[in-house]
């Protein structure tokens, strides 16, 4: 993978991907209309001189080796459909589409046009995740309790019909973990409502209990146990970093590793296969509502 990166998205694209990409040694370009936002943020204003700015009306994605699409699910789908001949790598956000049907269609499109992509399931770059993954067939009991505070911004991230909500925007990270750790979906008991997602395994040889809920206090706790030893981790978020003025988003260190992980971004067949499994899992849970 080369190093010319275009970032689309004035929210997380600017305060998340942009500083991470510069740390990962990409040559970063973004839209001219984001420049004022960058200058207005204390922690980002010193990065402006490292960024190239382009006019959206004269945009040629094929001038770049990779594109970050950090926009709403519908805008993301629109970009993918508008660029079927893009030859670089797409760094996409979850969910791929604002519904199961839209996600199915965009996966078919990515596969048909052989568009290489990856999705930022950032848990995989955390130490606690690696502990779980390495012990996935060892009979350890896995427990995760994730509490998130309500999203006060009235935007798509709160709306199930727009691709947001507890399951599609937050819980999909846990679905990705369950798929990665090769749990048998037939062994899982699922409880789901707009404020809570809970997944348990009935397989006594592979105990699992993960829970995501809306709560007034944010917290994340992992317990990994067997009869002789265990591993325990807790923090204010899954990323273990308390936001500061200099690093307001705790996901940036994980994003640096993600954007630097060229090997993980190469296999289109694996990317498609995993997303179809997650999509099937999502649909099963949605049917509980």
Four-residue CA torsion sign, 169, 173, 179, 183: negative
Mean pLDDT of 263-274: 88
The predicted-structure confidence for 43-82, as pLDDT tens digits, reads as follows 899 999 999 999 998 899 999 999 999 999 999 999 999 9
Task: Give pLDDT, residue 227.
Answer: 73
Residue 41 scores a pLDDT above 70? yes
CATH class of 123-241+267-286: alpha beta
Secondary structure class of 119 (helix, strand, coil):
strand
Task: Give pLDDT, residue 130.
Answer: 96
- CA-closest candidate to residue 6, choices 118, 91, 120: 91
Task: Give pLDDT, residue 111.
Answer: 97
Task: Give pLDDT, residue 2.
Answer: 56
| Beta carbons within 10 angstroms of residue 114's beta carbon | 9
Does 123-241+267-286 match 4-122 at the fold level? no
14-23, 93-102, 146-155, 237-246: range with lowest mean pLDDT: 237-246
Q: 126: pLDDT confidence band, cut at 50, 70 and 90?
A: very high
Can you tell me the distance from the alpha carbon of 225 to that of 77, in angstroms, rounded to the nearest whole number? 41
Task: Give pLDDT, residue 240.
Answer: 86
Q: What is the CATH number of domain 4-122?
A: 3.40.50.720
The predicted-structure confidence for 128-162, as pLDDT tens digits, reads as follows 999 999 999 998 999 999 999 988 777 888 898 89
Mean pLDDT of 210-220: 95
The residue among 226 and 35 whose pLDDT is bigger is 35
Task: Give pLDDT, residue 144.
Answer: 98
DSSP 81: H
**Does pTM top 0.75 for this prediction?**
yes
Mean pLDDT of 238-252: 81
**Domain boundaries, given as residue ranges, for the chain:** 4-122, 123-241+267-286
């Amino acid at each position: 993978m080369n190093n010319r990166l275009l970032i689309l998205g004035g929210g997380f694209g600017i305060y998340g991907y942009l500083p991470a990409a510069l740390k990962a040694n990409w040559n970063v370009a973004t839209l001219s209309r984001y420049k004022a936002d960058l200058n207005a943020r204390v922690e980002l204003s010193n990065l402006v001189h490292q960024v190239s700015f382009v006019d959206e009306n004269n945009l040629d994605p094929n001038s770049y080796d990779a594109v970050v699409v950090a926009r709403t699910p519908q805008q993301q789908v629109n970009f993918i459909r508008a660029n079927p001949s893009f030859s670089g790598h797409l760094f996409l956000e979850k969910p791929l589409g604002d519904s199961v049907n839209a996600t199915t269609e965009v996966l078919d499109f990515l596969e048909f046009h052989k568009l290489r992509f990856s999705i930022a399931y950032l848990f995989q770059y955390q130490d606690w995740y690696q502990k779980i993954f390495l012990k996935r067939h060892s009979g350890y009991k896995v427990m995760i309790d994730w509490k998130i505070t309500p999203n006060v911004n009235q935007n798509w991230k709160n709306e199930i019909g727009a691709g947001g909500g507890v399951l599609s925007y937050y819980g999909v990270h846990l679905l990705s973990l369950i798929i990665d750790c090769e749990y048998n979906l037939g062994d899982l008991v699922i409880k789901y409502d707009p404020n809570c997602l809970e997944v348990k395994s009935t397989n006594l040889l592979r105990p699992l209990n993960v829970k995501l809920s809306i709560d007034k206090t944010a917290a994340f706790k992992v317990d990994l146990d067997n009869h002789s030893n265990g591993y325990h981790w807790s923090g204010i978020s899954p990323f273990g970093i308390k936001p500061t003025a200099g690093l307001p988003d705790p996901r940036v260190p994980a994003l640096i590793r993600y954007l630097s992980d060229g090997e993980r971004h190469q296999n289109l067949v694996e990317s498609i296969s995993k997303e179809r499994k997650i999509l099937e899992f999502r649909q099963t849970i949605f049917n509980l509502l």
